[in-house]
Amino acid sequence: MKPLVSIITINYNESEVTLDLLQSIRTLTYPNYEIIVVDNASPNDNPDKIKEKYPEITLIKSKENLGFAGGNNLGVKQAKGDYLLFINNDTIVPKDFIESLVQTLQDDETIGMVSPKIKFHWDPTLIQYAGYTPMSHWTIRNNSIGYHQKDNGDFDAEGETQSIHGAAMMVPKSIVEKVGMMTEIYFLYYEEHDWAEMIKRAGYKIYYQPKSYILHKESVSTGKFSPLKTYYISRNRILFARRNFKPFQLWISLLFQCFVSIPKNSFMFIVKRQNEHLKAFWKAIFWNLKNSATIG
């Protein structure tokens, strides 16, 4: 018997999008999995229709919007699987994408997390993720390897990478039991990078497995460029550094933020007359100042 895989996905006002994912999951060739859908207190959606169309799933209806980490953690608490597969609801999966991920984790118990190759749904010939570069101690940003490049075989080498991609990541349940679940202070963005750092500090590797892939519609919930996204990315970028950088690295990054990043972004939003983004950006800065002693 193959080990049980718990597939966990979050729905927020996107039942139709979630139904598309579940339709693709039904074609999976992997023989042993369960599906957990967490509805994050959708205000303008009826998640019950997901259960009606796919009665085999476990539908958890949260009473409040817990964000990415909180919603997934709610699913973890119900999961029975040996392996936990966290996957965005705005993805489509090919029928054989689970096998290689499970095999990777079974073959090397020092691997704590694995992500597949991620390609764009709107153009499956283009890559979104083929691993990550290290997080810069200046900008507190990393780069997705292969981003917007053709899937021509150049990114087909599996191996250790610096961070995981939250759109699709598989983690052994034993690792979660040792290291803990995702911290919920982020709400949106950077929480998977933070979790990867926790798992690396525990002595495990982060892995990229291109034998598996998914198609990602990207940012359906929050919008590709919304004030909400501006706020959480700006807030959490600094929060990530505060939680994960060593003191000297943190001072470097904070100096860069104060004298380069913050003035540059403010100027950009002013010039483009993006007042809502400017407000969201400064709200993110003030959150970190107000919560200087809080790192989750």
d(CA 75, CA 66): 12
* 253, 245 contact by CB (below 8 A): yes
* DSSP state letter for 137: T
pLDDT value at residue 287: 96
Q: Which helix (H) or strand (E) segment is 250 a member of?
A: helix 247-256
Query: pLDDT tens across 141-190, in order?
Result: 999 999 999 999 999 999 999 999 999 999 999 999 999 999 999 999 99
Average pLDDT, the chain: 95
Q: What pLDDT, in 10s, does the model give residues 252-286?
A: 999 999 999 999 999 999 999 999 999 999 999 99
Split at pLDDT 50, 70, 90, the class of 295 is confident
What are the distances in angstroms from CA 26 to CA 22, 32, 131, 148, 269?
Answer: 6, 12, 27, 29, 44
Average of per-residue pLDDT across 37-58: 96
Q: Is the pLDDT of residue 119 over 80?
A: yes
User: 292 pLDDT band (50/70/90 cuts)?
Assistant: confident
pLDDT higher than 70, residue 132: yes
pLDDT tens digit string along 214-238? Answer: 999 975 544 567 899 999 999 999 9
Give the Cα separation of 92 and 214 in Å (integer).
6
Give the rounded percent of residues in the chain with a pLDDT score beyond 70: 98
Question: Averaged over 129-137, what is the pLDDT?
Answer: 97
Question: Do residues 90 and 220 lie in contact, with contact meaning Cβ atoms separated by under 8 Å?
Answer: yes
pLDDT at 256: 95
- What's phi and psi for 73, nearest 5 deg? -65, -35
Cα-based distances in Å from 13 to 9, 40, 42, 122, 184: 13, 9, 5, 21, 20
Residue 147 region, left (φ>0) first, then alpha (ψ -120 to 50), else beta? beta
Rounded to an integer, the average pLDDT of 55-81 is 97
* pLDDT above 80 (res 68): yes
User: In the prediction, which pLDDT does 112 show?
Assistant: 98
pLDDT at site 218: 74
Under the banding of pLDDT at 50, 70 and 90, the label for residue 123 is very high
What does the pLDDT read at residue 106?
Answer: 98
* pLDDT number for residue 293: 81
Mean pLDDT of 78-101: 97
Q: What is the CA radius of gyration of the chain?
A: 19
In this model, does residue 198 exceed pLDDT 90? yes
